Structure formats: C-alpha cells, structure tokens
Homo-oligomer: A and B are copies of this chain.
Amino acid sequence: MQMSYHIFGESHGTGIGVVMENLPSGIRLDFDAIEQDMARRRAKTDGTSTTRIESDCPKILSGVFEGYTTGTPLCAVIENENTRSGDYKATKDLARPGHADYTGNLRYRGYQDYRGGGHFSGRMTAPLVFAGAVAKQVLKQAGITVGAHILQIGRIKDIPFDPVSVNEKQLKAVAAKSFSVVDDQIGQMMREEILQARSNLTSVGGIIQCAIVGVKPGIGQNDFDSVESVISRNLFAIPAVKGVEFGLGFGYASAHGHEVNDPFVNQNGRIVTQTNHNGGVLGGITSGMPIIFQAVFKPTPSISKEQQTVNLQTGENEKLVIKGRHDPCIVGRAAVVVEAAAALSILQLTGDIQMPMKEDEI
C-alpha cells in the first residue's frame, strides 16, 4: 500500500499534526534528526522571520513502539502556543490580498477558522516537516538522501547544484546550515535582500532548489504517477509555491535538442548520462541520475504597507494595514519544507522499503 499523509490543524486552534499511513515498520526514529529539521523551519531571530517563535515539539501519539515505527498509522501532534488571536479579529472581514481569506471564505462558507490564516497558515508546514523527517529516515535505509538550498531570493542567486555530481555529502553540508545556501557569502546578501524588503514594508520571493540522490533507476511511470506528477502534486500543496520545474525546466523553451539531450554513456559498467538537463527523470521514470527540481515561492502576502481590499461583510472597498507578526520572506525557512515534500513523494513512488524481521522474531 502506498504511504499517505494527512495534515490537520489551524494556526490558532488547539493543535496541528499529521497522520502517516503505510509507513514501513522497523524504522528506528532519530529524534535528533527530526528536531534538526524542525529547527530549520523555525523562525529565525535575525530579523528575517516573524517574531512568533514556537518550540513546535511534535508529540507522537501512535505508530512508534520502543523507538521503532510499527507500520500502523503514526500520528504526531504539535500543540499551539504563543497565539495572539486578538491580532486578527479586528481585520477578520478584510480579505488580505494574496491570501486565501476570500477564497477560503467561499470554499468553507464562512465557517473556517480565520485566525492567523487558520488551516491555510504557513504553520501547517510544521507537521509537514515532521513527516518529511520521518520519510527521510525511511529513505536513508535505501541509501537515498534529499537536500535543498535557497537558489534565489529577490535578485540574489546562489550557486546551483551540479546536476551530475551533486552528492550526499554536499546535501548534508547544506542541510546543516541554519540558512541553507551553498555559498554563505551569497547567503548573507540574501539576508540583506530580505531585511531591505522588510524595511520597505514589503516582502520578497525566491526559489528553492532540491536534489535527491541515491534513487534507483526505473522508479515511476509515464502517467499521473510520473515522478514529476507526484512531486509537483505534493509541492503545490505547500502554501506560496506557484511553479515547479525539473532539471533545466523553463530553460528548455529556448534550448535545442542536440544541446540538452543528455547522452548515455557506460561508465565503469553503470549507465549514466553525461549531462543531466532532465533532472534525473525520463518519461516520468527515474534515470538513476540525481533528481533535481526548483520550486518558486511568491513573496509573503502579509506586508505592512497599506493595501486595497474589500470588506467581506459589507462588500465595501476598504484600506487594510496588516498587523501581527509576519515573515518578510518565507524562502529562508522553506528549504526544509521542500525537502519534506520531496522525501514524502519519493517514499510514495518507491513503495515499501524492505526491512528485515525484528531480530528476536521468527
């Protein structure tokens, strides 16, 4: 059975969390690694993030016994704390531009929890990161590593992963940083770009690049379960993601076949491609080369500048100034979120990782 995950919760409700079904049993959970991922998502204290900082410690209710996954549904819950719901009541009826206030109000007929974006909040990515951290530990058993870095924020661009040589070591090095970039000097410039947006009472967008190494060739299909289909479906469930491309992606538009066809070559008995413009996927199926993709995040819609909007109660045009605590750029915290969606996708595509019986069982 294919692994599935189900995220629940609202930003200012009692708790948020996730249920993961059809995990393999017998995975020893490394809680330090989980905490490391949770920390990467957590707001920074350097001015580039919201000042709402939560410990976000997931409590596991089921599916783990004596430190190992049982294979039955794993539920983890994060209690909400540090909520200032009062911030939102005053402007409850003023649909924030770029947010889901208006569309969510129609979809849920006015009954949604509007506080802090409710179920649409970026806070929903906390249980996603938890689930991704679990998925990574499953994938590790199969020699698969997932890593992402901030490729671009505003006008500043990091050095892209080399699509042929990117490897586990490089991915781990990037993941170990609190601000996930290849080049730290560029990272510093990105931070300045964010602080400048903040001081301009606005926000800025960016791109996360993600690589997955160690996936066997031959995984996926050329239909709705193509590698690209499964990954993109999960990525577009992340708030603010507005585009997904694999390998050369939109760069293909002006490219010619003979430049980008990725010739095959037998390299010491292993079939590889000399280049990897296809981002590790051919015909929806893994080629054994690193899987590479980019996801673009729009600027946080919550900005401090005054904006034009409509009062959903009265229908009147009104001006809105958003109060509350917000990120001037979500991209700095998004690398680990993209990794999570990627890891969960690969786990869905690869199926059950074959684990042995527990040692003392027959």
Contacts and interface: CB of A to CB of B under 8 A. Distances in A.
Contacts of A358: 109-111
Interface stretch (A14-22, A47-55, A131-139, A171-179): A14-22
Interface stretch (A38-46, A141-149, A160-168, A228-236): A228-236
Contacts of A71: 107-109, 111-112
A347 to B, nearest CB: 14
A300 B107 contact: no
Given A110-B358, A242-B247, A271-B312, 13 more contacts: A16-B61, A70-B113, A98-B260, A98-B278, A106-B218, A107-B220, A203-B258, A204-B254, A224-B233, A250-B296, A256-B299, A258-B305, A351-B351
Contact of A17 (B1, B16, B61, B278): B61
Contacts of A237: 222-224, 226, 229, 284
A90 interface: no
B308 A225 contact: no
Interface of A: 1-2, 6-10, 13-17, 19, 21, 25-26, 59-63, 65, 68-75, 77, 95, 97-100, 102-113, 118-120, 124, 152-155, 197, 200-207, 217-226, 228-230, 232-234, 236-237, 239, 241-250, 252-266, 269, 271, 273-274, 277-279, 281-287, 294, 296-303, 305, 307-310, 312-313, 315-317, 351, 355-358, 360-362
Given A253-B296, A261-B97, A271-B310, A109 B229 contact: no
Given A60-B14, A70-B119, A257-B300, A317 B252 contact: no
A236 B355 CA distance: 28
B296 A245 contact: yes
A59 B220 CA distance: 28
A303 B61 contact: no
B25 A108 contact: yes
A225 B1 contact: yes
A236 B226 contact: yes
